[in-house]
A and B are shown apart, each in its own frame.
Chain A
């Protein structure tokens, strides 16, 4: 169990640019989640995959955001035309395919939009 890996750890970008983050879940985990966290707040759910299928998306996930998990393994989260309000920590988590399996989180990608 090498844990959930996220890349990059930090990203600074100018407003209007596109950014892409990668998440590598624990290998035998079928479920993958993306969350966003701003300073002083708890993580907010963005989206959830069961294998390669994206089963739920939050209203927070505007049309500038897209997430994929093409082969049911790693996932990417892309933000197009970034805005300053997108500055946050983006967290990825994975879990086994059982309702009460705990989520294992990565240490996140911190995005700063200038």
Chain B
């Protein structure tokens, strides 16, 4: 499975946008970029995924670089509930499982 690199931690303020980066320079053409987050004392939850085009849903937006070697998860207006560990994961065509890295621990200040 292709590897991703994320900062260990980030900090932001409530009601401000948050941009969480992910580098994946060895991504292959059929790898989808998935984001999950894990709130304290809970299992991971799906946030968003994409292949080439930018994606939006009710939780977040995913901006994918043109060369696909990096992506950014955007939380448009952070709340305290968004404090979590965010995982960027590559999942190839036909791959059955997710391989988690260390993720980015996001702290939101009131």
- Residues on A lying within 8 angstroms of B by beta carbon are 4, 31, 33, 35, 41-45, 48, 50, 55-56, 91, 93, 99-100, 102-108
The A interface is mostly helix, strand or loop, or mixed, namely strand
Known: A42-B102, A55-B96. A100 touches B49 (CB 8 A): yes
Chain B residues whose CB sits within 8 angstroms of the CB of A35 once the complex forms? 100
**Residue from the list A45, A50, A108 in contact with B99, Cβ < 8 A:** A45
Q: How far is the CA of A40 from the CA of B93 in the complex (A)?
A: 29
B36 — which chain A residues lie within 8 A by C-beta? 103
* Complex: A102 Cα to B101 Cα, angstroms: 17
**B contact face: mostly helix, strand, loop, or mixed:** loop
B2 → chain A closest CB, angstroms: 15
Cα(A44)–Cα(B44), bound, Å: 12
* Besides A42-B102, A45-B97, A99-B96, 11 other A-B contacts (C-beta < 8 A): A42-B87, A42-B101, A44-B100, A91-B43, A99-B93, A99-B95, A100-B49, A100-B91, A103-B36, A105-B42, A106-B43
Q: Is there an interface contact between B100 and A43, defined as CB atoms closer than 8 Å?
A: yes
List 25 A–B pairs whose Cβ atoms lie within 8 Å, in order of A's numbering: A31-B96, A33-B97, A35-B100, A42-B100, A42-B103, A45-B97, A45-B98, A45-B99, A48-B97, A56-B96, A56-B97, A91-B43, A91-B44, A99-B91, A99-B93, A100-B32, A100-B49, A102-B46, A103-B36, A103-B44, A103-B46, A105-B43, A105-B44, A107-B41, A108-B43
A41, B102: Cβ atoms under 8 Å? yes
Q: List B residues 30-69 near A (Cβ within 8 Å).
A: 32, 34, 36, 41-46, 49
* B43 and A93 contacting across the interface, CB-CB below 8 Å: yes
Inside 8 A of A108's CB, which chain B residues have their CB?
43
CB distance from B14 to the nearest CB of A (A): 25
**B94 at the binding interface (Cβ < 8 Å):** yes
Within 8 A of A (CB), among B63-77: none
